[in-house]
Chains A and B, each alone.
Chain A
Amino acid sequence: MASVKYEHVTKRWGNVVGVNDLSIDIADKEFVVYVGPSGCGKSTALRLLAGLESITEGKIYIGDRTVNDVKPKDRDIAMVFQSYALYPHMSVYENMAFGLRQRKTSKSEIDRRVREAANILGIEKLLDRKPGQLSGGQRQRVAIGRAIVREPNVFLMDEPLSNLDAKLRVQARAEISKLHQRLETTFIYVTHDQVEAMTMGTRIMVIKSGVKQQIDTPQNLYQYPVNLFVAGFIGSPAMNFMDAKLVERGDKVAVDCRDFMLDVPEGKAAVYRRHLGEDVILGIRPEDTHDADYCPAGINKSLVEVRVDVTELLGREVVVHLTSDNIQFQGIFDPRTNARVGNTMAVAFNMDSMHIFDKQTELAIR
C-alpha cells in the first residue's frame, strides 16, 4: 500500500520528448487511469514508474521513498503487460510462482499465494496448462494473477484489455474494478480507450504529447474539460466543435456560429459578457443535441434548422450526422425521431451543457 508521486518528471531520448514536466499526486488505494491517444507518453509515464525506463529529470516517489535509482525488482510493484508477457514454456502455476521463487519465498507460502490468486480469478483448473493452451481472456487472468501473487504496493497495468474482444473486455473491466476494491491497493492503469478510463478510474489523467492535460474524476472530466483536447477526447461520439463569436443580442449574450445564433443561458451570461467580440469555439456534445420533437423536458434549449446527412440507428438511440451551410455536427436522437436523410429538421441544443473555448489558447472559458 503506497502513494505515488511524480515530481516534474521529464523523459527524453535525444531530442524526442516522451514525458514533459509531469507532476501528479496519487493517493494510496486510488485507481488512476492514464489515457491519451497512441504515442502520447502514457505508457512511458508508467514505464518510468516501473523502472523500465530511466528518468531524465525530476523525481518519482513510491510511498516516501524516491525510486529514481531503485531497481525495478525492488520497487515493490507488479505490472500487467498488454501482451501479457507470460513465459510460454512454463505452466500457469510456474508463471505465477516464478517471481516469488526469484525472491526466495518459501514453498508453502508460494503455493498458498498462487492458489489464492487462482481462486480470486477463477483459474484454479488451468494451473497445469501452458499459456499456449489458454484463450485470450484466460491468459489475461494469468497475467493479472502473476501480479497479484507478488502482493505489490502498486499495480501497474499497461493496456491489459486491448487484446480481448469487445464482449470480454466489458466483462474484464468490471472484474478489474472488483479486484481493486478487494485488494485495496493503488492501481495505475494505462489505456487509449476513454470508455475504459471513464468506467474504471477513480481519477483519470488525460495526457497528450507527453504533457498532462487534466487529472480529475470521470464526472469532472466529462462535465468540465479544461481544454479543447480533453473535451474532444472524452465522450463518444466526440463533442461537436463550431467556430463562433460571442456577441450581444438584446440584453442577452449569444454565440454566433454564422449559420445560426444560440443564446447563452442566464446563469452563464455573466462570465461570457467579459469576452464579447472574441473568436471562440463552441463545444456541444452529441448527447446534448436533440430532435426538437423529442426533447427532454426542463432543459434550456435553443432551436436551429439543419439538414440530415446520415443516420445510424443503434437501437437505443440514433446517431444523426447533421449539416448546415458551414457547419457539420452530430446528434444522438431519440429512436422515434423523424430524421430522414436529405430532410431539413429542427434540432434543439441543450445550452446548459455547452462549452466555450478560447480559439487561440484552446482553454475552456468558465
Chain B
Amino acid sequence: MSIERIKMMLGSLPTHVALIGLCLVWLVPTIGLLITSFRPFQDINQSGWWTAFAPRKEVGQDVYEKYLAPYYGPDGKAVEGVDLFDPELIGQFRRSIALTVFLREQMEAGKVQLEEMPDVQEMTDLLAYLRRVSGVESAASRPRFTPDNYIDAVMGYRGRASYTTDCAAGEQALDLNCNISDLMNPRGMGRAFVNSLLVAIPCTILPILFAAFAGYAFSWLHFPGRMGLFALLVGLQIVPLQMTLIPISRAYAQMGLNGTFLGIWLFHTGFGLPYAIYLMRNFIGSLPREIFESAYLDGMSHWTVFYKLALPLSVPALASLAIFQFLWIWNDLLVALVFLGGQRPVLTYQISNMVSSLGAGWHLLTAAAFVSMALPMIVFFSLQRFFVRGMLAGAVKG
C-alpha cells in the first residue's frame, strides 16, 4: 500500500469516526427499545435492556432481611395468620404495587409496624425474592427473550400476566376468545394496524390521483383563470389544519361522517391536495414541452397524453409524494383522534391508549411501537431511491 493511500485513509478517518459515532447515538435508543420489547415484563421492571445478556442476579434477599425479616422472621411465618412464603398468597401479587398494598393493609390491621416502607425499586426486588422463595416462579425459569409483549400488544391483552399464560390457564378476559379472532380485538394493535391501512391507503391514493390530474391540467391545458386558481391552491397550503378541526367536525356531525372512514378519507384528501397539486404541477410542467407537442401531432387526445405520457413520466414524483403522504397519514394522531377516535382506533391512537395513567403496561408500548414502525420501515427501505429523488425534485431538472 502506498503512502498516499495510507495518508488518504488517515485523512478520512475523523470523518468516518464521527459518522459512526453519530449513527450509534441515533441507533442506541432504538436498539434498546427493540431489545426491551422482547424481554419478559418482569425483567423489564427489574433491570435495563443492557443487562439482557448478563447473568441474572438473585435479587431481593437483602431487602427482605432489612425490612421484613425482623417482623416476619427468616421463614416468613413469624406473624400469625400470614405466611409470606406461601405460593397461594404470593401468586396473587403480580406487580409490586399489589405487594405494597398488601403490606399497608397489614399495618392498618395492626399486625406489623414497619419503621419504613421499601422504596419502589426495593419493592420490585422484594417481590421477585418472595416469588422465588415461595416457588411461584424464579428469574432463572423465565426465558430471556419472549414474543409475549408483541402477542399481548397485537391482541390487546390488558391482564396481569400474559395472553399466552392466561389462555393456557383458561382465565382469559371477557373480550378475548383465545383464538384467531383475537387478532381483530378492537383494543389490540392488530385491529389498529388494519384500521391504519384502511385510512392510509385511500388517503394516499386519492389526493395523488387528483393531484396528477390537476397537475396536468395546470401545466398543459389552457383555460381562463388558470394562474389565479393555481395561486389560490398554493395559498391554501397556509391554512393550518388545526384551525379547521372544529368546523369540519361540526359539519361531519350533521352529515353523520364522524367516526367513519369516509370522513377521514375526505379530510386527508382535502388537506393533502394543495401541496400534492403544487408538486405535481411543477413536475409535470417541467417535463419537456416538445414531448407533449409531439404527442398532440401524433394525434393523441389530452386523456391519452395524460395516461400514456404524463403519468409514466411522473412516476418519480408520484412515488415520492406517495411516500411522504403515506408516512404523514400513518403517523398522524390528531386527525385520527378527532374524526375516528375510539370507534375505529388507528395505531397511533391505540399506542397512546396502551399505557395506563400510572405507567403500568409500558412493556406493551415497546412492542406496539415496533408494530407501528414496521410498515414505514418497509416502505422506506423498499422505496429509498425515490426518497432521494423526491427530495431533489425541483432542485435539478430531471
Contact = CB atoms under 8 A, between A and B. Distances in A.
Contacts of A89: 312-313
Interface residues on B, range: 10 to 19
A50 B297 CA distance: 8
Contacts of B299: 73, 99, 102-103
Contact of B313 (A81, A85, A88, A146): A88
B242 interface: no
Contact of A85 (B291, B300, B312): B291
A17 interface: no
A73 B298 contact: yes
Contacts of A51: 297
Nearest to A102: B299
24 contacts: A50-B293, A50-B297, A51-B297, A52-B296, A73-B296, A73-B297, A73-B298, A78-B297, A79-B293, A79-B294, A81-B290, A81-B294, A83-B290, A85-B294, A86-B291, A87-B291, A88-B291, A88-B313, A89-B312, A89-B313, A98-B298, A99-B299, A102-B298, A102-B304
Interface of A: 50-52, 72-73, 77-79, 81-89, 98-99, 102-103, 146
A106 to B, nearest CB: 16
Contacts of B294: 79, 81, 85, 146
Nearest to B312: A89
B43 to A, nearest CB: 55
B193 to A, nearest CB: 35
Interface string B286-311: 00101101111111100010000100
B13 to A, nearest CB: 39
- Most chain A CB atoms below 10 A, which of B295, B297, B298, B313: B297
A85 B298 contact: no
Nearest to B292: A85
A82 B288 CA distance: 11
Contacts of B300: 73, 102
A85 B288 CA distance: 7
Contacts of A81: 290, 293-294
Q: Per DSSP, are chain A's interface residues mostly helix, strand or loop, or mixed?
A: loop
Given A85-B288, A85-B290, A72 B296 contact: yes
Given A83-B290, A86-B291, 18 more contacts: A50-B293, A50-B297, A52-B296, A73-B296, A73-B297, A73-B300, A78-B297, A79-B293, A79-B294, A82-B290, A85-B288, A87-B295, A87-B309, A88-B291, A89-B313, A98-B298, A102-B298, A102-B304
A158 B297 CA distance: 14
- Most chain A CB atoms below 10 A, which of B290, B300, B313: B290
A79 B309 contact: no
A182 to B, nearest CB: 22
- Most chain B CB atoms below 10 A, which of A84, A85, A86, A146: A85
Given A83-B288, A89-B312, A99 B298 contact: yes
Given A85-B288, A87-B309, A88-B313, A52 B298 contact: no
Nearest to B296: A72
Among all A-B residue pairs, the 7 with the closest Cβ atoms = A73-B299, A99-B298, A85-B290, A85-B294, A102-B299, A81-B290, A85-B291
Contacts of B291: 85-88
A78 B313 CA distance: 23
Contacts of B296: 52, 72-73
Contact of A77 (B297, B312, B313): B297
Contacts of A83: 288, 290
Contacts of A146: 294
Contacts of B293: 50, 52, 79, 81, 85
A219 to B, nearest CB: 34
A102 B296 CA distance: 10
B119 to A, nearest CB: 68
A12 B300 CA distance: 27
A83 B287 CA distance: 12
A185 B304 CA distance: 29
Interface in B125-173: none
Nearest to A83: B290
A84 B294 CA distance: 9
Interface string B308-348: 01001100000000000000000000000000000000000
A105 to B, nearest CB: 11
B216 to A, nearest CB: 16
